[in-house]
Structure 1
Amino acid sequence: MSKSLIDPFERRIEYVRVSVTDLCNYRCGYCMPEQGVHPEGHHAEYLSYEELARIIKAFVDLGVSKVRLTGGEPLVRKRLYELVEMIKPLEGLEDIALSTNAHHLEREAEKLHLAGVDRCNISIDSLRPQRFNKITRGGDLEKVLKGVDKALEVGMKPVKFNMVVMKGTNDDEIEAMVDYGIEKGVEVRFIETMPIGPAGVSMMDQHYAADKILKRVKAHVGADLIPSTDRSDAGPARNFHIAGTNARIGVISAVSQHFCESCNRVRLTARGVLALCLGQEDSVDLRTPLREGISDQELQQLIINAIAKKPERHFFNENVHNIEFRQMVQLGG
């Protein structure tokens, strides 16, 4: 079979985000309801590590070079490093990344890095302990910051912060987050709220546009923001170097300025659904045929057929209050 996945709009799919669980120990308002999505569990519905590794191999054999492990919170699933060990040897897989809230990262970072996790993105929406606790509905900022330090200590590179900017909630910390990122040598990425699921839609009155964020960052640092052209920056973020420094910042403007023309990714949920677009319902069930005994070649063909259905773009601006079919926590961000 072809060693590349090309969608109907000539975009090469090189990146798969793999959710290992839709459970999370935090309850951030833009991501999930306070009671969680599946508080009762249903662990048998999750793909096993062996099943996840088999699907990842099929993608890598079709030309995917980057995998990001997500959740929910991926570190609430035990022994995640075992999955990393399974996929690290795959020929053609160049980058294994992790998205985490870092609550358990101090404990897990060394095992994960030794197993093969190259980099991590850490969700951190406030540097004020009480505010952080309120945003996450119970999160512990001290544990998160220890996780940040551990990731840096063991050699994960780069480590990035993801801050969802919410008007009236944490938008007064934009400048402080830039300063903290510079201090730590961590790239800070500011993310617009997105209308994914009822939780996300309910937060859209707090939407804060990326261009306003960039204007504030530029005024704060007193220097130009130079657009990055690094190939490693390929993805949804617009990335910038702060002139005269080694510091970098980024913005993800999914609502105010969509980036669908360069989309190179799909998402695999923990329950085996291949989601073709973050903002559209298009998806394909991989778990059922996998458990019915599909061959490796048939699995690859199923993926190829799925990519042929990938939509051109989302419509967050046009239908901002209609995208309620699933929660962000189920999609892996």
Structure 2
Amino acid sequence: MKQKIRIWLRNFFGFSRTETNGFIILLLLMALILSMPFISKSIYSYYKKPVQSKAHRLNLNSLLSELKDNIETHNEKSEEREYNYFDLNKSTSAELVNSGFPQYLAKRIVKYRNKVNPFESKDELLKIYGIDSAFYQEIYPYIKITILNIQPDPQPVKKETSTTNKIKEEKYPEKEAKKFELSAFDLNKADSTQLQKIYGIGPAYSKRILKYRNYLGGFHSLNQLNEVYGLKKENLDSLKNYVFLANELNLRKLKVNKLNADSLVQHPYISYKEANLIVNYRNQHGNYSSMDDILAIKILDSIWVKKTAPYLSFD
């Protein structure tokens, strides 16, 4: 049959064998193109039509009804829930539960208060994971806060009784004061135990400070504490009250005339961009002799150079 069609086409149109084959292929392509709208419409209609059995519809209706009941039950419980007054800084976990908190939230509040710091405002309650704004608005009127000042007890009033009593009462407050006394110490020589004696600095913060100090090669300015991840303003203020930097800094320095780019980027202040600029300039102009040579690299930012300078050595 195919051969007869080929012969007829060749005789009717005067095609060669190759032209006949091309003509047949062209006809098939045209037929396919013309039928595409009908084929795509059928496929679209098939997939668009939802296939749902009666059992499926009944199951769906049941789920929707159950969901509606759960929502109504939750709303009823929320309306019926009663709260009692509580103190964020004094209430125990059990007392918080009695005040209307779920047990897991009560434990988190006590843990936050003991491990991080006492509450100073009601809004700090939103920092507790699991307490959303809606729940916070419900309990807001019942919140009380006793501000806890961690300070040494005031000296007792001296009683004018006998000479012996005077001596005892005068010595007692001196002993008590020593318990809270903390001498300033060198930040570049401090260990985690010393840092944790500062109010607001726990194991996590002390570990970060020491890790960053080692990463830098030592601090040359107290303002570098601002670069330690997670430290808040109150933590920084506490630190700066008790730490200092010695006049003679013993910083770990980078030998810019010997190190390659991969070694230079180990310092937190130096990116690959700056490291490559320093190495390439050295290769073109020879070794550096002072910071003036580094400043000659015009692309480098002067603020960056000033910050990095204490860690560079030109030996």
User: What range describes the TM-score normalised by the shorter chain of this pair?
Assistant: under 0.3
Q: What's the TM-score, normalizing by structure 2? A: 0.18
Larger radius of gyration: 2
Q: What's the TM-score, normalizing by structure 1? A: 0.17
Q: Which has the higher strand share?
A: 1
Q: Which has the higher contact order (CA 8 A, sep 6+)?
A: 1
Q: Which has the higher helix share?
A: 2
